Structure 1
């Protein structure tokens, strides 16, 4: 039976490769909610690097070597509104890696490619030109203007463990087409290409996020010589994190880890991210205005106590499946949503969904290996439908938080009753075609 199963998967993969050769992840299905559609701006993409020097190399820590240091080289993928010539077409090919990390013979690191709707190394569209590009109520403010700064808001994206900067291209391209600069991070020792000890991920996510924010802020300054000079507003930033990226995003905006969790990293080195540590508390960054946390890890593993979660004051959109068997739901994401009591927060739940509420659909190459396929797919949900729903709600949430767009009605949805049912027909959710909101629940809690 296993052999038959493998042959079937291979045949389907070959068919997908033949029929989906020009598929672009993130394109709207016929039943996509209203705000999922791509914005009016062309999209460019570039790959940059940044080195965070003199960082603690926790994976080489020992009693004999208590403070090893190294430079963390971060690869960044940057999507942005672009000015294209008549000859340029929005098409690129991304190369990512399959597998669960180096030296795994069952899932070896194998490159795979997939299409993107962006132009490699295109010229950026000056923000002043974008303000007249027909962006009203989609990608700019209600009057068609950019935010007060006159520059594009910044979105930082942090992947899971292991993952990559490219695994949510359906969303990064979509946001760039709506007037955002999106910077996705490859976190060293946490990608599929270089996966290493978990202690590095626990320690470095917050530090990487803040370093990249500072780096982009430097690039944004006039005269920096970077193509983002005068283009992006780093003072108006959102964090999007998936799984361990969600853990890092919450940790970055005030969810200090508990004293018990500090023991998860050798030598007590996680104390730098611990609630009550004056150094940690002083690092709260007012430039971060919103967080989108997809299936954030940590709640079910007691990484935070109530006091730590109460430290979050930044608005948060949580997105999760209620059958998440990695981050947990009842004892995981749902508890994070309930206990971030000082933040205005929302929770979108995919009923029957597991942990893969964030990534692109499985590429045809993944169909050859069940574990690779399962790392991107959902058992009960079509990934393309999930992608469209995510685009819709993230567009509304970030539009409100970063651009003061008139999207609140898209988030003021029928509440849950005490028995867990929805008060009104979910098909009446604003922006959804009739009968198309089935399988979703929505909750909102205001900050105390």
Structure 2
């Protein structure tokens, strides 16, 4: 191993710190570390983005119903941010986002440019819906949306009304509306992609749709994929009012009607609900599309052993994976790097908004890169039928048990068992477990 002088090391460390400080001060969400796994790298496309206001008519107004107010139905507004493949050389512009305190607005910097010219030569592209937690907003996972857009996906990130930083309201609204919002946006993207007067005309192939949800977004993804809820959860006094959650009950006609054959795969990150008996083994056996679950092993919100891990175990009606970040908490894998403005203490919250984005053990960019890698492999396999990506999901369970052994020409030796796509010494603190349908 080469030896370097103290002066060289000091200069290198200073340059590294300057780069890191500059990236942090700009609130960059598009960073790919040198030790990132292979598929985290950006693809060939530039990224455009557009904001759309959608309206889902005649929906139950859960907030009013919970407060014993009328009218009980309303036209439900939803804002979406659409990230799409654009011409290769676009000049990115920052995104203006609301912080976790629900008040301050800050700029984050990524790869996307508003209303950039779509790259239509390769269209139509598969659709990936992205659904934030409670609370959250459509930019919380914009690092992942942009990353997927560079690789030939249209990623549509949803602002879920009553569930955002600035409009957080009755939890029952999230319980009922989350899967309804997801499937409504799928239908709207289908409609707009077929409308010659729409900026999305010809851009999206909704027959190849994936869904990525974080926390309550993961809860919604499981219901959308076929995991019906329990009688117990329908009856919670603190849950949805008037038994309205019954529309998602396992085996019910309403729930079966919600399930859409265009949905081909889900990624549920820290999905909430099993820890509160919103599902049981029977309900989770209804999940009928391939599923990739991600979790921190010390998640104290959705719970790991009694929550997320049980979801993975009990989703027996499909092939599924569980990626575990050892010692990470509920912020594992999904949130963008914490904006610098989130560091100070917030009087509104009683804590620093930083805590909403960051993990005490894991570097956020590192987790984002790992998420981008696995989401790319999983979506490419199931939405693009890229069977070569299956090798990135066929892994020894505990990363640190892998052996890195290659010849000088880069070819794997027979004893090589290291995680596919991970540089030597980089597959640490991770587990990846797989179960097949029926297991």
Structure 1 residues 60-117: Cα deviation after superposition (integer angstroms, max 9, x where no partner): 1169658611111111000001126x6x42x12111112355xxxxxxx211211121
Give the corresponding residue for 1:249: 221
Q: Distance in 2 between matches of 1:250 and 1:114?
A: 30
Q: Which has the higher contact order (CA 8 A, sep 6+)?
A: 1
Q: Distance in 2 between matches of 1:111 and 1:434?
A: 40
SS in 2 for 1:116: coil
Matched, 1:398 2:379: yes
Residue 237 of structure 1 deviates from its aligned partner by 0.2
Give the corresponding residue for 1:362: 338
Q: Distance in 2 between matches of 1:401 and 1:124?
A: 24
Give the corresponding residue for 2:143: 170
Matched, 1:424 2:406: no
Equivalent in 106, 111, 118 of residue 112 of structure 2: 118
Q: Distance in 2 between matches of 1:184 and 1:231?
A: 16
Q: Distance in 1 between matches of 2:23 and 2:323?
A: 32
The aligned runs of 1:15-94 (5 Å cut-off) are 20-22=24-26, 24-61=28-65, 68-83=72-87, 88-89=90-91, 91-94=92-95
Normalised TM-score (structure 2): 0.87
Q: Distance in 2 between matches of 1:323 and 1:407?
A: 29
SS in 1 for 2:181: helix
Residue 228 of structure 1 deviates from its aligned partner by 1.2
Residue 422 of structure 1 deviates from its aligned partner by 6.0
Structure 2, unaligned stretches of length 5 or more?
Answer: 1-18, 346-350, 405-416
SS in 1 for 2:28: coil
Give the corresponding residue for 1:408: 390
Give the corresponding residue for 1:270: 245
Structure 1, unaligned stretches of length 5 or more?
Answer: 1-14, 102-108, 131-149
The aligned runs of 1:295-334 (5 Å cut-off) are 295-334=270-309
Give the corresponding residue for 2:411: none
Give the corresponding residue for 1:146: none
SS in 2 for 1:407: helix
Matched, 1:95 2:96: yes
Residue 20 of structure 1 deviates from its aligned partner by 3.3
Normalised TM-score (structure 1): 0.85
CA contact (8 A) 1:100 1:195 kept: no
Equivalent in 145, 158, 168 of residue 185 of structure 1: 158
Residue 27 of structure 1 deviates from its aligned partner by 2.0
Q: Distance in 1 between matches of 2:422 and 2:30?
A: 17
Give the corresponding residue for 1:259: 231
Q: Distance in 1 between matches of 2:424 and 2:189?
A: 42
Q: Superposition RMSD on alpha carbons, in Å?
A: 2.0
CA contact (8 A) 2:25 2:340 kept: no
The aligned runs of 1:346-385 (5 Å cut-off) are 346-357=321-332, 358-369=334-345, 370-385=351-366
CA contact (8 A) 1:428 1:435 kept: no
Residue 26 of structure 1 deviates from its aligned partner by 3.0
Q: Distance in 2 between matches of 1:313 and 1:331?
A: 22
Gap change, CA 1:112 and 1:276, over 3 Å in 2: same
SS in 2 for 1:208: helix
Q: Distance in 1 between matches of 2:209 and 2:23?
A: 39
